[in-house]
């Protein structure tokens, strides 16, 4: 199983990164602030789960390759990321460390409405819809299949240009889909 993650720059251009399943943070377990960074940020995301094996398919057929949706939060070790960028080194480790990708329970999905939100300490800091993504879900899944064999159980983290900075120990994170809270945990 792998996590195929959309990453956006400030111009809303997308790149794809692959993260191992060691990054999954499940069951609303708390996120532990890493010792190797002083600052942490997070990105709320829609997550799709692959249900079919495939490679190199077009966006027109992409929806056949996933049948579940949930929400997720990807965490970034900002201090480490800046240090690596300054040195001209790849900075993937700053977002692929152990338990850096929270994942909710997955729900059946056949298309349609996908409103999601992120709350920090009970305050809504982000609200979005799948339609607002710079690259729609079908295009993203299709592009990922151009580089990687899609396997049953893979997760597509759809990305988001929004990044919440300044997470602190004690913060409570809640994330929901279509009005239903699916993630609720603390930064420890």
Q: Looking at residue 112, which CATH number applies to its domain? A: 3.90.850.10
Residue with tokens 């993650």: 5
Domain containing 44 equals 2-186
pLDDT of residue 142: 98
pLDDT of residue 58: 96
Band of residue 61 on the pLDDT scale cut at 50, 70, 90: very high
Strands 40-50 and 172-177: unpaired
Percent of the chain at pLDDT exceeding 90: 97
Residue with tokens 């094996």: 53
Band of residue 174 on the pLDDT scale cut at 50, 70, 90: very high
Band of residue 52 on the pLDDT scale cut at 50, 70, 90: very high
Contacts of 82 (CB under 8 A, 6+ apart): none
Domains in the chain, number: 1
pTM as predicted: 0.97
pLDDT of residue 44: 98
């Amino acid at each position: 199983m792998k996590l195929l993650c959309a990453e956006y720059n400030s111009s809303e251009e997308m790149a794809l990164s692959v993260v191992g399943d060691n990054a999954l943070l499940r069951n609303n377990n708390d996120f532990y602030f890493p010792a190797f960074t002083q600052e942490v940020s997070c990105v709320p995301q829609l997550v799709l789960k692959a249900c079919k094996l495939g490679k190199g398919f077009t966006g027109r057929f992409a929806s056949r390759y996933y049948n579940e949706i949930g929400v997720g939060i990807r965490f970034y070790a900002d201090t480490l990321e800046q240090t690596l960028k300054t040195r001209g080194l790849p900075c993937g480790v700053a977002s692929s460390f152990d338990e850096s990708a929270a994942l909710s329970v997955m729900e059946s999905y056949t298309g349609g409405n996908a409103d999601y939100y992120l709350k920090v300490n009970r305050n809504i800091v982000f609200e979005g819809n799948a339609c607002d993504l710079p690259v729609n879900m079908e295009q993203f899944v299709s592009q990922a299949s151009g580089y990687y064999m899609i396997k049953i159980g893979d997760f597509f983290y759809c990305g988001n240009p929004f990044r919440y900075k300044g997470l602190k120990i004690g913060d409570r994170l809640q994330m929901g889909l279509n009005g239903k809270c699916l993630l609720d945990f603390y930064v420890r």
